[in-house]
Structure 1
Amino acid sequence: AFFTPYIGHGESVRIIDAELGTLEHVHSGATPRRRGLTRRESNSDANDNDPLVVNTDKGRIRGITVDAPSGKKVDVWLGIPYAQPPVGPLRFRHPRPAEKWTGVLNTTTPPNSCVQIVDTVFGDFPGATMWNPNTPLSEDCLYINVVSPRPRPKNAAVMLWIFGGGFYSGTATLDVYDHRALASEENVIVVSLQYRVASLGFLFLGTPEAPGNAGLFDQNLALRWVRDNIHRFGGDPSRVTLFGESAGAVSVSLHLLSALSRDLFQRAILQSGSPTAPWALVSREEATLRALRLAEAVGCPHEPSKLSDAVECLRGKDPHVLVNNEWGTLGICEFPFVPVVDGAFLDETPQRSLASGRFKKTEILTGSNTEEGYYFIIYYLTELLRKEEGVTVTREEFLQAVRELNPYVNGAARQAIVFEYT
């Protein structure tokens, strides 16, 4: 698996516990406990001629060479900090650039996944668990991964992956996102990033304490890191392609629209997502309502006149309590916390930007995954699918499912869907 810890044979590293702030030795071949893989201990004794030691604008980092599925070698740097941990007073806020460090940071273990719900609906069914985070959950999660082919290229094209997950889940470290094959076979630098999801990444109250779109600003800061550092890994900052799937594709499309991001990349690939997807954005009013509903659910002030009190209270709550209370008041086929037209990252709705031509003019590759909706049907129509054998759906049940699964479309569109599947 790609994102199992890359610790060389016979080596040991020290890992900082995200929650306790303590250090733990992990020897090669041992399986680290699900603890916070945050800041790896710096080591000042580094060989300046070591090609795996890269001098970034914040400090030196050490990577490791591993095998790609083809048998070729690739160099990887896992868990490079690009932002300060968004904890305490920084929760819900836009990210701040990482601080500089001294010595050499060991970037050989996968980073934390950002706090999110974990899918347990179908137990250990692989089709569901394969999407669950495979590294510890922590608010300290704003890290970048870089994979480079060997021998190290010069001015290679760069592909930056943005994971999906409905803006409520996801992590760049999933085995299904193995970057090694793409880097080794296509001779490109592959970059992936962690960004905040769920309420921690997209809670909006229209205040400086909760301005919204924090997850998109995470991505934007990561893009700036790539612009400033990718040449140090053999990449060309003028040949960066963003690509993502589902919410990742929506994210890519919003970077095409945002004046803050347009100049940070060149091309884009959108897989099963667009800026006009009905689930991709909500109004400021709806976003505020959802934030106050969450505040009420976790016992915080939830009056519109007490927004600062609500944010202060929400900052004091356990992050897992927040993400586990986000779904109580939503209808079917809705994701609780998503991007919003905030006046900073997005000045206007995607529809208006597209109509007026205010977007990045570039090459775009777009498409969708075959039958991707099946994944959601098993969650939204569990009563129908719990029948052990001989699943029979009546026409009325079918029509009701069409209505529930397509709440955003008009009657003519629903009739077209019915015609397609009957």
Structure 2
Amino acid sequence: MLLLLVVVLGIGLNLASAAKLGVVQTELGQVEGKSYFMGLFRSVDVFKGIPFANVPGKWEKPEPHPGWSGVLKATQYRDRCLQVTLLQGKTHGSEDCLYLNIFVPHGTTLSKGLPVMVYLFGGAFLLGASNDVEFLGNSLYDGKEMADRGGVIVVTVNYRVGTLGFLSTGDVRLPGNYGLWDQHAAIAWIRRNIEGFGGHPMNITIFGQSAGAASVSYQMLSPYNKGLFRRAITQSGVALSPWALQKNPMALTKKIARKVGCLRSDIDLMVTCLKMTDPVGLTLAGKIDVLLLLLKNGVVMDLLELSPVVDGDFIPDEPNRLFHNAAQFDYMAGVNSMDGHIFAGVDVPSINKRNANTTVEQVKGLLTGLTKVKGNAAAESAFNTYSSLWGSLPDQALVKKTVSDIETDFLFLVPTQIALQLHANNSNVTSTYSYLFNMKTRIPGFPRWVGAEHAEELQYLFGKPFSLPLIYFPRHRDLAGYMMSYWTNFAKTGDPTKGGSRVPSTWPAFNKYTHPYLIIDHSMGKSSVSYDLRSDYVKYWTQIYSTLPNIKRDDTGVKQGN
């Protein structure tokens, strides 16, 4: 009798946890993924490497995929788009790279009508992939935990980066923005096909981090995405970030042409030569030139050259003039408390050295590099603002933290606050939310004052404390649970507090007149809501610095006078 009971119970449990899609019909053909057990009565179907566009032509918009016969076994990630490696000595990836991955959660029955969250990876528009950073066989952007715990479908997307994704002449010869067109093609494919996977085609949220967040911002601003998705989340990056827009694309294209032997006085001949050049060589020519930084005494931001452009088409105008297009989307945006620290540590290395002082001259030098378009008066003005609370003998920890704050504000926080304000100003029926991620860094060796590093929120958002429990503590699992709840609630309802997942603090909306933000860490409660994030510094950059005149320069960048 006991044996019979065990057998019946086993069969019952197996059936109860066995909900899976099997073969799914898409517009291009049939696909079959793999089902993963996530717990009692819970599974996630994972489809890896589904093509959403054909192999792209060099510097051409993505074209529809021709489809396939039979059943595509979608069980392996496909190649990343051709790019330099992290150390930039060589390339990896392929031109055949426009694929996406889908994570679909189920209970005892197949899911239907689920919200859809589409993730765009970061990497300075230079590198990255939809399945980036493998650790213990687990991709950083593996969507299983978020899908399972949040009750949403997660989709991760590849797009072209580097020279092949963002080179531009600034005119019709090479308009640029090919990576943005790839993202748009993926979102459109998801809209057309996600219902077959159990998703709601009218409830799509796009989200991304760093260059992926700036990409999300551009997708919001482009007229091509009207009605295509419903909500958007930007994490540590917006289209207004100073590193997110090429101001002089032709100069960069000539520099890359020189590296590959294609520089010509006739631009048409130069472009023809570039189009005939080996893509690996072109990709290597777009790598970050660290030596140039050292020789010119510049700042890291100067090296982030390949990025979107105002092309008069996908991005028809300057980004700050396009927020009327973003008003149709609910919007959530924020930064990490020390987003700029990793860049500040390159620009002013002494901030991370225990026995080295950071001098006034070094702080002024950093500000001179960041504000060089407006000259020395701007750097002096910014220094006076940031040193106003130092006193006559400032503590070294305060000076070093100030250096990090300067880069965080300039590169990430202030542009994000401007984007939130512009969204709220243009929006009548959609919602706006602001956050500050402030979990202390887990990276060893940094000074005590270092808070949340650039990209550190991703491990929590994608549930790594649950999938890799041995390298995290309970407080990290608490934080991961909070983040997944807020993000997926927002995807469901447009309100991160409401949506079925419990959260530790009510998150009030940002609007034209009041600017609340949620402080996200492991010990959240009523005190986690604050107002007017770094408002004195936001006011400085938006109301004082922005009114200072730019220095006029000739085409070679030589200063011509004020």
TM-score, normalization by structure 2: 0.58
Alpha carbons of 1:419 and 1:113: their partners in 2 closer, same or farther (altered >3 Å)? Answer: farther
Per chain length, whose mean CA-contact separation is higher, i.e. which structure has more relative contact order (CA < 8 Å, sep 6+)? 1
Q: Is 1:315 aligned to residue 279 of structure 2?
A: no
Once residues 305 and 46 of structure 2 are traced to their aligned partners in structure 1, the CA distance between those partners, rounded to angstroms, is: 35
Q: CA RMSD in A?
A: 2.8
- Written as runs of structure 1 = structure 2, the 5 A alignment for 1:251-262 is 251-262=215-226
Provide the rounded CA distance (Å) in 2 between the counterparts of 1:345 and 1:244: 19
- Structure 2 residue corresponding to 1:351, chosen from 312, 317, 320: 320
- In the alignment, is the contact (CA less than 8 A) between 1:255 and 1:262 conserved in 2? no
1:7-406 paired onto structure 2 within 5 Å: 51-68=21-38, 72-86=42-56, 90-120=57-87, 137-151=93-107, 152-174=110-132, 175-206=139-170, 210-283=174-247, 286-303=248-265, 305-307=266-268, 309-326=269-286, 327-328=288-289, 332=299, 333-334=301-302, 335-354=304-323, 357-381=324-348, 384=350, 390-405=355-370
What SS is found at the alignment partner of 1:113? coil
Are the counterparts in 2 of residues 293 and 302 from structure 1 also a CA contact under 8 Å? Answer: no
- C-alpha change, 1:267 and 1:281, in structure 2 (3 Å) is same
Letter in 2 for 1:144: L
How far the C-alpha of 1:322 sits from its partner, in A, is 2.1
Which amino acid is the alignment partner of residue 93 of structure 2?
A: L
Aligned pair in 2 of structure 1 residues 405, 171: CA closer, same or farther (>3 Å)? farther
Distance 1:408 1:187 in 2: 47
Contact 2:20/2:35 (8 A) holds in 1: no
SS in 2 for 1:148: strand
Q: Which amino acid aligns with 1:161?
A: Y
Give the partner amino acid of 2:24: V
Alpha-carbon distance in structure 1 between the residues aligned to 2:334 and 2:144: 23
Cα distance in 2 for partners of 1:276, 1:386 equals 29
Asked whether the 8 Å contact 2:235–2:335 carries over to 1, the reply is yes
Q: Decide whether the 8 Å contact of 1:81 with 1:142 is kept in 2.
A: yes
1:257, CA displacement in angstroms?
1.1
> Counterparts of 1:56 and 1:109 in 2: how far apart (Å)?
18
Report deviation, 1:72: 4.5
2:170, 2:309 within 8 Å by CA — same for their partners in 1? no
Query: Aligned partners of 1:379 and 1:138: how far apart in 2?
Result: 31
Do the aligned residues in 1 keep the contact of 2:20 with 2:45 (CA within 8 Å)? Answer: no
> Partners of 2:305 and 2:357 in 1: how far apart?
32
Contact 1:69 1:180 in 2 (8 A): no
Question: Equivalent residue of 1:92, what SS?
Answer: coil
Give the secondary structure class of the aligned counterpart of 1:73: strand
Q: CA deviation at 1:70?
A: 9.8
- Following superposition, the deviation at residue 176 of structure 1 comes to 2.1
Distance 1:385 1:199 in 2: 33
Measured after TM superposition, the shift of residue 144 of structure 1 is: 0.8
**Displacement, 1:116?**
1.8
Normalized per residue, which structure has more helix? 2
- CA contact 2:20–2:106 (8 Å) conserved in 1: no
1:97–1:381 Cα change, 3 Å: farther
One-letter amino acid of the counterpart of residue 194, structure 1: N
Aligned with 1:167: secondary structure?
coil
Distance 1:259 1:51, change over 3 A: same
Residue 341 of structure 1 aligns to a residue in which SS?
coil
Distance 1:66 1:213, change over 3 A: same
Change (3 A) 1:310 1:66: farther
Q: Secondary structure at the match of 2:336?
A: coil
Please state how far the C-alpha of 1:414 moved relative to its aligned partner: 4.3
Q: In structure 2, the residue corresponding to 1:400 is in which secondary structure? A: helix
* Larger deviation, residues 65-74 vs 319-328: 65-74
Percent identity between matched residues is 35
Q: Distance in 1 between matches of 2:141 and 2:387?
A: 35
Distance in 1 of aligned mates of 2:39 and 2:386: 41
State the Cα deviation string for residues 294-353 of structure 1 (Å, max 9, x = none).
0011111332x333x323322333333223222346753131211111011011111222
The 3 A distance-change label for structure 1 pair 339 and 75 is same
SS of residue paired to 2:187: helix
TM-score, reference length from structure 1: 0.76
Stretches of structure 1 that go unaligned for 5 or more consecutive residues are: 1-48, 124-131
What is the CA–CA distance in structure 2 between the aligned matches of 1:159 and 1:392, rounded to whole Å? 45
Match of 1:158, SS state, is strand
CA distance in structure 2 between the aligned counterparts of 1:390 and 1:161, rounded to whole angstroms:
41
Between the aligned partners of 1:196 and 1:254, the Cα distance in structure 2 is 15
- Cα deviations across residues 67-117 of structure 1 (Å, max 9, x unaligned)? 45999521111111111112xxx1111111111111111110012111222
